[in-house]
């Protein structure tokens, strides 16, 4: 079985890395050969994170690269597409694949359809507002990262919709040492992981987080935020790298995922919560979208809507090491059971295999 994976990003893109690249060694072990072709390169992402903007040369190269990749589509038994083939263009290519009987599975971990149907320009809404619905309808299977995305696919008329959450690989997130003695003189570390472009999600809770940064017994840690101004001063900022990701998360005592209750945010897959929980950390999150499913309030963390609830949750966990330990164990158990690559890989493999055209065609 040969699959062409047409990802949005190369390996530095978090969504592509989590939804595609981390599965590839396991698919190969099962005899499934996957060739990848990223739309946007790592050079594009580096320029974006260094605030050098979206370079036109990188974007032009991306469209030519995608066209070139599609030229060999019929050599494969299946196309495995992340979100869409050509951003900001109509779904012509996906419609053509359907007419040529080239099967594809399309994967979503974000509400990318809101880029179009909620666009502030009415012309974009008129031309592209239903684009992703067409992509979903033409797909053999739509793989959605959460129920919000799955419901959109069903409303669009998708033939088959499967929910596969974003997951971590337990081989990269080994059993954490929960409850090991800590230096009581050290401040309790409350942390967030993300990218410079997603650090703006911290803004809705900047008031309680600023209190954390200003409290001597606490420390606010931002991993991967770069120098993005999230409206908070005094936070410890750590550079992200894939190789050090687990070690960086291990230094935290509590993980957080604030979100505004808006359409785009309701489509998020809660991956950073899953990362914290895999490391045996209790979490605090806004009850938006799938966050309310991942976080069991009072069991593996707290859901908090207002500044007051965020402050109360932070204070409660910061002052109770035994509670952090108990919730951390429950968090790890839930990730192993429901949000690990090892628990979801058999489902994904079956989905891809069932969508492939027969090898003799």
Kindly report, residue by residue over 117-164, the tens digit of the pLDDT. Answer: 999 999 999 999 999 999 999 999 999 999 999 999 999 999 999 999
DSSP secondary structure letter of residue 356: S
Q: Give burial (CB, 10 Å; 0-12/13-18/19+) of 212.
A: buried
pLDDT at 278 over 60: yes
What percent of the chain shows pLDDT beyond 90? 84
Can you give the pLDDT at residue 50?
A: 72
Structure tokens at 308: 């007051």
Token reading at 247 = 């070690």
pLDDT band with cut points at 50, 70 and 90 for residue 47 = confident
This prediction's pTM: 0.91
Q: Which residues of 216-234 are buried (b: 16+ CB within 10 A; e: fewer)?
A: eebbbbbbbbbebebebee
**Whole-Å CA distances, 297 to 151, 292, 327:** 24, 8, 10
**Residue 44 has what pLDDT?**
84
Query: How would residue 53 be classed by pLDDT, with cut points 50, 70 and 90?
Result: low
Residue partners of 304: CB distance under 8 A and separation at least 6: 284, 285, 286, 287, 310, 312, 313
Q: Is 33 a residue whose pLDDT tops 80?
A: yes
Nearby residues of 140 by Cβ (< 8 Å), 6 or more positions away? 78, 103, 104, 105, 159, 160, 355
In three-state secondary structure terms, 231 is coil
**What is the band of 231 on the pLDDT scale with cuts at 50, 70, 90?**
confident
Q: What mean pLDDT do residues 213-240 have?
A: 91
Give the residue from 331, 335, 333, 338 showing the smallest Cα distance to 317. Answer: 331
Ranges 229-233, 239-243, 272-276, most confident: 272-276
For residue 51, what pLDDT band results from cuts at 50, 70 and 90?
low
| pLDDT for position 283 | 98
pLDDT single digits (tens) 157-203: 999 999 999 999 999 999 998 877 777 789 999 999 998 888 989 99
pLDDT band at 361 (very low <50, low <70, confident <90, very high): low
For residues 345 and 28, is the Cβ–Cβ distance under 8 A?
A: no
């Amino acid at each position: 079985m040969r699959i062409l994976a047409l990802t949005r990003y190369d390996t530095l893109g978090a969504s592509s890395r989590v939804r595609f690249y981390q599965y590839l060694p396991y698919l190969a072990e099962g005899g499934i050969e996957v060739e990848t072709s990223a739309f946007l390169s790592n050079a594009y992402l580096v320029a974006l994170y260094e605030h050098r903007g979206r370079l036109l040369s990188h974007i032009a190269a991306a469209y030519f690269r995608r066209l070139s990749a599609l030229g060999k589509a019929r050599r494969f038994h299946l196309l495995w597409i992340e979100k869409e083939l050509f951003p900001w263009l109509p779904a012509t290519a996906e419609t053509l694949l359907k007419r040529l009987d080239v099967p594809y599975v399309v994967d979503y971990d974000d509400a990318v359809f809101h880029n179009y149907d909620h666009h502030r320009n009415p012309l974009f809404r008129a031309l592209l507002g239903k684009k992703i619905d067409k992509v979903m309808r033409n797909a053999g299977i739509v793989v959605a990262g959460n129920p919000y995305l799955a419901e959109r696919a069903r409303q669009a008329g998708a033939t088959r919709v499967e929910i596969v959450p974003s997951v971590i690989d337990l081989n990269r997130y080994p059993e954490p040492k929960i409850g090991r003695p800590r230096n009581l003189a050290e401040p309790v570390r409350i942390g967030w992981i993300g990218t410079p472009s997603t650090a703006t999600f911290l803004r809705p809770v900047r008031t309680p987080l600023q209190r954390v940064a200003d409290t001597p017994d606490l420390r606010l840690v931002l991993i991967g935020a770069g120098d993005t101004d999230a409206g908070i001063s005094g936070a410890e900022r750590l550079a992200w790298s894939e190789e050090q990701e687990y070690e960086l998360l291990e230094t935290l005592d509590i993980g957080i995922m604030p979100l505004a209750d808006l359409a785009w945010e309701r489509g998020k897959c809660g991956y950073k919560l899953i990362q914290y929980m895999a490391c045996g950390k209790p979490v605090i999150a806004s009850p938006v979208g799938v966050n309310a499913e991942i976080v069991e309030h009072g069991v593996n963390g707290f859901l908090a809507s207002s500044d007051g609830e965020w402050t109360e949750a932070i204070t409660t966990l910061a002052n109770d090491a035994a509670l952090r330990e108990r919730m951390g164990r429950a968090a790890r158990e839930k990730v192993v059971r429901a949000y690990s690559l090892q628990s979801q890989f058999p489902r994904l493999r079956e989905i891809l295999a069932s969508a492939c055209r027969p090898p003799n065609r």
